Structure 1
Amino acid sequence: MKLLSQTLCLCLILVLFDSDHHLDHHHTDGVPDRCEGKGLEMDAVAVNEEGVPYFFHDHHLFKGFHGKAEMSNETFPELDDHVHVDAAFRMHYEDSDDHDHMFFFFKDKVLSYYQHKLEDGYPKPISEVFPGIPDHVDAAVECPKPECDEDSVIVFKGGDMYHYDVKTKAVTSKNLQNLPSCTSAFRFMEHYYCFHGHQFTKFDPKTGDMHINYTKNAQDYFMRCSTFDSNSDHVEREQCSRVHLDAITSDNAGDIYAFRGHHYLHKDDATDALKAESIESAFKELHSEVDAVFSYEGHLHMIKDDNVFVYKVGEPHTHLDGYPKTVKEELGFEHADHIDAAFVCNDQHIAHIIIDDKIYDVDMKASPRVPTNERPMGVLKHVDAAMCGSTGVKAIVGNHFYHFDSVMLMVAAKALPEQHRVSQELFGCDH
């Protein structure tokens, strides 16, 4: 009987050990998915020196608006299991000695990185680097003049908001009445967002006041996911998303087709009406993830990986027999791993193909078709999508586009023209 009791105890210990070990293993090796369910609560959000947003969750880091998580210490080695990021921001003031430094708050300490390398002497106490700012903060975000009265850092803790003047180190504070408790804060396209749970709220950086009726699902606007909450407004999401477009074109009637991840947005030129659907619902052979698209003689030429699909524009769009064809067969490129953008201007027959920082011409009336006139893109080192119409070329980079009167002027430009917001100026998003 004693032997039986000892055996049962040993088995129970092994079961408990295995259960604990399984839980630890799941915690250590389990990779969070920001598109699962309604999304994740982010502990901190900041942009790097190239403008790429970094989303921190527990000990993981999401770079950009899509892609899998990685361990934070793969990019910032000091962010190990003992460091849980409470808040983060990038100091982006050219007059400051800390210009383009990224700061991470954890407990009562702060870390400073420059070009992803920890600065000497860090970590330091928050009170030493940012005197007047409390420990254990919830969120932080940069706020340049004139968006704030002076170049500042905004810090949130509980129901209080602190403004830290970068130049004078003066601190003012305010108790917030209507803004939710922020777990992270983010400045993006000159707007300010307080993230709380899986949602975010737009706020005024000077007063901390919440914009009326503006609480949204972060997954809808700051993530590129294949599925969304059933309550998601698909048109508004695609119209106002902060995630960059994969491809865009306008057809002979002036209608715009814009592709992002698994969805596309159709803007009717005659009525300005917007329609958002899954790519698979209208272009089932493609499924999703379009690399580039251009319109030519009433057809959409859609490039995905090493293949070109061609659809006749209509309701429904008709997939042409014989397609897809390879990029080599259709456009003559021998070794094109990824085409970034493509467009045809007006009633011309030259397809302009952008790969990395170069642009090529392909005569669509030629047989066989071959790329010619290779030249550098000039000031544009990367383009996500592009289209051309009666007013010229729109080159889309991230969440902005640049307008050029012609392809020649785009290639020859010595400086970037004025930035325009994709969501607002192409699709009429009002927030």
Structure 2
Amino acid sequence: MRLGYKSRVSAGGGHRISMKLCVLLCLLPLLRSYPLIKGKHNDTGNNFHPDPDPAYSLPGMSGRCTEEGFGAITLDDKGVMHYFRGDSEWTGFQGPTQHINVTWPGLTGPIDAAFRNHNKKTPLEHHRIYLFKGEQVWSYYEGKLVKGFPRLIGKEFPGIPDHLDAAVECHQGECRTDSVLFFKGDTVYIYSSEEEPPIKQRHWSLGNCSAAVRWLERYYCFNGINFTRFDPVTGKVLSPRPLDTRDYFVWCPGRGHGHETRQNATLMAIKDRCSNRSFEAFCSDDKSRIYAFRGGWYFRLDSSKDGWHAWPLSHTWRNLQGVVDAAFSHEHRMYFIQGSQVTVYLSDQMYIPVAGYPKAIEEEWEVSGVTAVDAAFTCPHSSDLYLIRGNRLTLVDLNTRRRSGEDETIIHSEVDSAMCNAHGLYLIHGPSFYHYKDVGELLSTNTAPAPGTIASYFLDC
């Protein structure tokens, strides 16, 4: 791979992926991240202000950055994060303050708890927003109060107490069924209309949660200005220590990851998915999660309704830093190639680094003479690994970890990244991608297909 950023751009899956703000949370390997709101280029707070200090003059900026924390947090049906305190709310990573009833007609603060419902089996309730205050609950969809609300909490959620501390939805697969976790004091009420009985009570060692939120398949308990990540089934705390909300979830001047560099225009472009900068790598993992890598940061491309955001690599892959030349997934392992080195992570609840890495490419796969690559990919349900260098395609059998056959020639003289998933093979160069049905079609063709545009096709720009 070339020095600097390889021109890469990729298509995440073969279908138009509607992703909204992201970019998600192994959070707590969370080594800095910032959830943003979804929307068009430059209208969602995706970019840091070029000079953080004047931000305190923006309405509500200093209020959001106090030690008080928030009384409730939730994503809405469009992927916008909302933070509530008293009669005020803040939206997105750096939105200004406003009165609650501006966004939520007919409601005033303070809000006790909030969540975005997830239950595809009940389409009329799926992605509704529920806001709790005292003995009542309000429900909204597409910014409008649902008919029949507000209602008593006990009528809408029989058996759930009033004056809650926090609430968060839990998706089937992450919990046994689509559920809601309600927090009050040291008791957690797990509510599922699909279960009998519909409520189970648990006593977890999380401590008091003044707010809770699910974001990119991870669950967070907020206590004042601090938060911890937890397992929604066992209640086990997954964070090594409490972290400060102002360093991860909201922008506060002088705080956050590398705040001193935010004035750098290059860094801003790296973190702006619509800047037309190249991506160094694309990858789809065993759970069909799609990642795009650029300049030591990554975007999640598959998570609809969770908005967009760039995260540092170490947020999900502990200790991983720098530019990723290529990435691919195989049998619950994620491989990263950086220069001549390969690093491997096991995929579990979070990515766990495999001991003994990094290793040299030649040592990992017995491919003499291969000391760097431009792109690498595997296809679903296959042990074939393809390494691309210039216009040469090298096949490696991951079962034997050895080169298989002679190198093949492809019609593309320069490739920045490649990804193969259920929708086909994507070769990426600069701002464009080329789609093939499979490797066989790539090797047999003499003419490249019409290029697609990465920004619009995969990044919702």
Q: TM-score, normalised by structure 2?
A: 0.47
Name the aligned partner's letter for residue 295 of structure 2. I
Hey, what's the Cα distance between the residues in 2 that align with 1:160 and 1:264?
A: 33
Counterpart in 2 of 1:31?
60
Query: What is aligned with 2:32?
Result: none
1:122 aligns with 2:144: no
Which residue of 4, 24, 48 maps to 2:76?
Answer: 48
The match for 2:295 is 256
Q: Which amino acid aligns with 1:220?
A: D
Task: Tell me by how many angstroms 1:226 deviates.
Answer: 3.2
* Alpha carbons 2:177, 2:192 under 8 Å: kept: yes
1:220-235 aligned at under 5 Å gives the runs 220-228=247-255
Q: Which amino acid aligns with 2:119?
A: Y
Mapped contact 1:92–1:142 kept (Cα < 8 A) = yes
| Matching residue within 83, 88, 91 for 1:63 | 91
- Structure 1 residues 372-387: aligned runs within 5 Å: none
How far apart are the structure 2 equivalents of 1:175 and 1:265? 34
1:251 and 1:101 map into 2 onto residues whose CA distance is 35
Q: Equivalent residue for 1:411? A: 452
Letter aligned with residue 149 of structure 1? R
2:230 corresponding residue in structure 1: 203
Instruction: Give me the whole-angstrom Cα distance separating, in 1, the residues matched to 2:61 and 2:222.
Output: 18
d(CA) in 2 for partners of 1:107, 1:389? 58
Structure 1 residue 72 displacement after superposition: 1.2
Deviation for aligned residue 1:146: 1.1
Is 2:116 the counterpart of 1:87?
A: no
| Structure whose residues are more often helix by fraction | 1
Task: Summarize the alignment of residues 240-251 of structure 1 with structure 2, pairs less than 5 Å apart.
Answer: 245-246=271-272, 249=277
- The answer on whether the counterparts of 2:116 and 2:129 sit within 8 Å (CA) in structure 1 is yes
Kindly state the Cα deviation for residue 212 of structure 1 after the two structures are TM-superposed. Answer: 4.9
CA gap 1:272/1:115 in 2 versus in 1, 3 angstroms: closer
Q: CA separation in 1, counterparts of 2:64 and 2:322?
A: 25
AA of the residue aligned to 2:88: H
Q: Which has the higher contact order (CA 8 A, sep 6+)?
A: 2
Closer, same or farther: CA 126–416 of 1 in aligned 2, 3 Å: farther
Residue number in structure 2 paired with 1:155: 182
- Summarize the alignment of residues 134-213 of structure 1 with structure 2, pairs less than 5 Å apart: 134-168=161-195, 170-176=198-204, 178-213=205-240
Does structure 1 conserve the Cα–Cα contact (< 8 Å) formed by 2:313 and 2:320?
A: no
- Contact 1:255/1:266 (<8 A) preserved: no
* Letter paired with 1:405: L
Residue type at the aligned position of 1:41: G
C-alpha RMSD over aligned residues: 4.1
SS at 2:235 equivalent: coil
Q: Is the 8 A contact 1:33 1:68 kept in 2?
A: no
Question: Counterpart of 1:58 in structure 2: which amino acid?
Answer: G
Structure 2 letter corresponding to 1:188: W
Question: Residue 61 and residue 389 in structure 1: after superposition, are their counterparts in 2 closer, same or farther (change >3 A)?
Answer: farther
1:104 aligned onto 2:131: yes
Deviation at 1:34, TM superposition (A): 5.4
Q: Distance in 2 between matches of 1:159 and 1:103?
A: 22
Residue range with higher mean Cα deviation, 220-229 or 40-49:
220-229
Separation (CA, whole Å) in 2 of partners of 1:145 and 1:51: 19
- Give me the whole-angstrom Cα distance separating, in 1, the residues matched to 2:218 and 2:457: 22
Q: Deviations over 1:371-404 (max 9, x none)?
A: xxxxxxxxxxxxxxxxx962159xxxxxxxxx94
Q: Normalising to structure 1: TM-score of the pair?
A: 0.50
Q: Which structure's CA Rg is the greater one?
A: 1
| Per-residue CA distance 1:163-208 (angstroms, 9 max, x = gap) | 00033471001112x2120011000010000011111110110121
Measure how far apart 1:408 and its partner are. Answer: 4.3
Deviation string for 1:260-300 (max 9, x for gaps)? 9xx99799xxx96459xxxxxxxxxxxxxxxxxxxxxxxxx
5+ residue gaps, structure 1: 1-29, 238-243, 276-345, 347-387, 394-402, 420-431
Shift of 1:73: 0.8
- The structure with the largest strand share of the pair is 1
* CA distance in 2 between partners of 1:251 and 1:108 (Å): 50
1:391 to 384, 397, 417: 417
Shift in Å, 1:108: 0.7
Letter in 1 for 2:452: V
Maintained 8 Å contact 1:76/1:117: yes
1:189–1:181 Cα change, 3 Å: same
Q: Which residue of structure 2 aligns with residue 278 of structure 1?
A: none
Could you say which residue in structure 1 is the equivalent of 2:12? none
Greater shift after overlay, 135-144 or 110-119?
110-119
Measured in 1, the distance between the counterparts of 2:457 and 2:173 equals: 23
Q: Distance in 2 between matches of 1:234 and 1:216?
A: 16
CA distance in 2, matches of 1:170, 1:120: 24
- The secondary structure found in structure 2 opposite 1:211 is coil
The 4+ residue runs of structure 1 with deviation greater than 6 A are 232-235, 263-267
Contact kept in structure 1, 2:118 and 2:178, CA below 8 Å = no
**Whole-Å separation in 2 of the counterparts to 1:162 and 1:194:** 15
Query: Aligned to 1:113, what secondary structure does the other structure show?
Result: strand
Q: Secondary structure at the match of 1:153?
A: strand
Query: Is the CA contact (8 Å cut-off) linking 1:250 and 1:257 kept in structure 2?
Result: no
2:294 and 2:79 map into 1 onto residues whose CA distance is 31
Shift of 1:115: 1.3
Equivalent residues of 2:85, 2:110 under 8 A apart: no
Distance 2:70 2:234 in 1: 23
CA 1:264 to 1:211, structure 2 compared with 1: closer, same or farther past 3 Å?
closer
- Gaps (5+ residues) in structure 2? 1-58, 263-269, 281-292, 300-309, 324-373, 375-413, 420-424, 436-450
Superposition deviation, residue 79 in structure 1: 1.6
Counting only pairs closer than 5 Å after superposition, residues 320-399 of structure 1 correspond to structure 2 as: 390-392=416-418
